[in-house]
Amino acid sequence: MPRLAVLIVLALLTGCGVAPDSPLADQCDTVPPGAERVVLRAGSGVRLGAAVVGPPGAPVGMAVAHGAGHTLCDWLPAMSALAERLRVRVIVPDRRGTGSSEGDGEVGELAADLQTALTWLHDQGATRLAALGSSYGGPIAVLAAQRATSLPMCVAIAVSPLTGIEGGVAPLAEDRPVRSLWTVAETAFGANATALFEKVPQATKGRLKILPVDDHSLGLLRGHPEAMTFVEDALRTC
């Protein structure tokens, strides 16, 4: 089994670590200034632990679906810096069954869970919404954007994405468009990014970028400024 596949399987078995309403400092070694704990009520009564950064009155909000080996703690520093630069509000929920979220990691609920996060942003005043997913979270974000027809979606962003997840996350089989799709990936995940970009219907064509590097997911954004700039350019279309 490829090393990345092994890491994904191990990550999916880690389970919930802290309570959804626990202080962020009890979960994360580093908590950016201004980050706040949020508890989302998802399907079947499952509580999802999340964190939000960025100005409460921001008109643009983004929900993040992290990768299989991550929790919200991994993403908070980078998303806090992005939120400050672009003046957007960003919510990062832990995937159900992981980190601070309850549940057993039911795959078929993952897109709906991200829609719950998007709805929370909308209820808080965001008038334009984006979904970002990385690695395992990539197809979750795209599928959530396809299905969020009652929300003011402006863009879906996929970073080093898988094309789907067995058990109920299949954006390539969904006959619904996203408003716009921006995909960026390293060489090894270039075929996945290309497949999503070319096969998922888009109301307005986004952009595809493949970087000749090996860094994956959050490592791609951290290690290569052009990848993070790509994400920010996608958000600027909102």
- Residue 44 domain-assigned (yes or no): yes
Note the pTM of the prediction, 2 decimals.
0.92
Greater confidence, 11 or 151?
151
In angstroms, the CA 62 to CA 155 distance is 9
Q: Domain range holding 205?
A: 33-235
- Residue 6 domain-assigned (yes or no): no
pLDDT at 17: 81
Model confidence at 16, pLDDT cuts 50, 70, 90, reads low
Query: CATH number of the domain that 225 lies in?
Result: 3.40.50.1820
Q: How many domains does the chain have?
A: 1
13 has a pLDDT exceeding 70: no
- Residue 52 domain-assigned (yes or no): yes
4 has a pLDDT exceeding 50: no
Average per-residue pLDDT for the chain: 93
- Residue 7 domain-assigned (yes or no): no
